[in-house]
Amino acid sequence: MLRLIVVAVLLLLLTACGNGVLPPNRNLIKQAIAIQLEQTQQQLREQLDLDFQGFEINHLTITKKIPLMMEHLPAYHLQGVYDLKFNIPQHDLKQPQKPFDIYMQIQPEGKTWKLIIPDSNNQTSNRVWRSYLVYPDGNK
């Protein structure tokens, strides 16, 4: 009986240390990174007149998972590295060990996640965030 009480107290303390929500899985993190890459890819396509035909994210390594609260909802600050391969006609462009630093927030219903990105166009002192729904299967 005492053992059960000690385990319950330890679980309660561990839950209190975080935001009480498990972090997003690898597939969701890959999809969030893909959303960021699609925006960058679109800018590069316009500036350099390149014909990107997709990309692959491989060897995802998560080095930090920091639980936090954003706008009264649980979120995670995630950091790590991945290998990137851009598919371009005639050849592939590879970038190994590319770092990522993203924020992901679970939605109120607890079933979906959003990628949260600071708005770089914001000129005010208050931080403004843009959000993008992350689809676990990559579909929109």
Reported as a single tens digit per residue, the pLDDT across 59-71 is 999 999 999 999 8
Number of domains the chain is built from: 1
Say if 42 falls within a structural domain: yes
- Residue 4 maps to a domain: no
Q: Is residue 10 part of a domain?
A: no
Residues 6+ apart with CB under 8 A from 135: 31
Residue 102 in contact with residue 33, Cβ under 8 Å? yes
Residue 3, in any domain of the structure: no
The percent of residues above 90 in pLDDT, for the chain, comes to: 46
* CA R_g for the chain: 19
In a domain, 102, yes or no: yes
Tell me how many degrees the CA angle 110-70-134 measures, rounded to the nearest 5.
50
Structure confidence at residue 138 (pLDDT): 62
With respect to residue 12, please indicate whether it lies within any of the assigned structural domains: no
Residue 97 maps to a domain: yes
> What is the mean pLDDT of the segment spanning 10-39?
76
Contact 32, 134 (CB under 8 A): yes
In a domain, 40, yes or no: yes
Confidence of residue 46 (pLDDT cuts 50, 70, 90): confident
pTM: 0.76
Q: To which H or E segment does residue 29 belong?
A: helix 26-48
Residue 140, token pair as written in the block: 């929109």
Domain of 93?
24-119+128-134
For 78-131, what is each residue's pLDDT tens digit? Answer: 999 999 998 878 777 899 999 999 999 999 988 899 999 987 776 666 778 889
* DSSP β-ladder status, 91-106 and 55-70: unpaired
